[in-house]
Amino acid sequence: MVSYYTDEGVLNSPMGFFSMWIGSMLGLPTWAIALSFAVECFILFAAGLFFADLVSGIVHLTLDYEVGTNDDLRCHAEYTIKDVLRFEAEDDLFKKAKPRDQFLWNFHAHHDAPYPASDSNFELVMQIVRPVSLPVIGFCLIAAFGLLPMWFMTIVLTGMTIGPFMQFTHFLSHARGRNLVSSPVIRFMQDHRIILHPADHKSHHVHFDRDFCIMNGWANFIINPLRRFLSCVGVYPKEAPTVITRRDREERKGDLQRMEMNTAPASEPPKEDGL
Ligand SMILES: [Zn+2]
Ligand SMILES: [Zn+2]
């Protein structure tokens, strides 16, 4: 039987898998080590999926609660993807805004025009890769000095390999809500909560202050109380920024209507009937 156990223990076993280390230490037969190795791979993959979902929730929460500096742009809404693209290509309100405000408006536009995505598949992947690449490089550097266990890095790297595709699972849930998903494999994965089910994402588009996780929703039980805590201590507002923006938008509309009424030419005085 192959023995992976050495004086350095698990760190010296291939990829640091516990099953090989413990199995060979206990003198288990090869088939039992192979079986426990498969179970361990499954657990690590599931943990990687969970990690990716957790990251999706953190990124989504952070971006939803960042309002930017351009109130006129923030209060502008488009309700179809065609109009979103036209506004971004032609309107000075968007074109002359700061890049960060443009990025935030584009991200928040999903709440008013949820489906399909206004960005290319490449951009959807890059929206996740950009914010998480530095932390992942940091993890890898720390791990290179032997400061992080191999099992933890396996979970992080599995999660970060799957993570960039979280916008696909997100938009697949919107597509399913519109009866546009016919693939039995995808429907199976959604029904078994391996990827995001539309029922688990719907509440986000009603309240905008909860259920931020878009890979499969497994980590919402961590992100939802975290958001409530941050609102409680004053880091985030009590109401979701989207709710505040919609109210501001309605108030601006009301102000505009009142201004138009006040500046409209006075109606003609009733004519004397000549009596
Ligand atoms: Zn959102
Ligand atoms: Zn959505």
Model confidence over 62-82: pLDDT tens digits? 999 999 999 999 999 999 999
| 101 located within any domain | yes
The predicted model scores a pTM of 0.84
CA separation, residue 111 to residues 81, 127, 210 (Å): 11, 16, 13
| 151 located within any domain | yes
Say how many domains are in the chain: 1
| 36 located within any domain | no
- Tell me the pLDDT tens digit for each residue of 118-138: 889 999 999 888 888 898 899
64 alpha carbon, closest ligand:
1
| 82 located within any domain | yes
| 21 located within any domain | no
202 alpha carbon, closest ligand:
2
- Alpha-carbon gap, residue 141 to 147, rounded angstroms: 9
Q: Provide Rg for the chain, Cα atoms.
A: 26
174 alpha carbon, closest ligand:
2
Distance 44 CA to ligand 2 centre (A): 27
Question: What is the span of the domain harbouring residue 172?
Answer: 45-247
| 121 located within any domain | yes
Distance 171 CA to ligand 2 centre (A): 7
- Alpha-carbon gap, residue 116 to 167, rounded angstroms: 11
Distance 63 CA to ligand 2 centre (A): 13
169 alpha carbon, closest ligand:
2
The separation between CA 19 and the C-alpha centre of its own chain, rounded to angstroms, equals 33
Structure tokens at 147: 């400061």
| 5 located within any domain | no
Distance 223 CA to ligand 2 centre (A): 16
- Alpha-carbon gap, residue 154 to 55, rounded angstroms: 16
Distance 79 CA to ligand 2 centre (A): 14
- Tell me the pLDDT tens digit for each residue of 82-101: 999 999 999 999 999 999 99
| 161 located within any domain | yes
Give alpha helix (H) positions in 114-183: 121-144, 150-162, 166-177
- Alpha-carbon gap, residue 179 to 114, rounded angstroms: 15
- Tell me the pLDDT tens digit for each residue of 145-155: 878 887 888 88
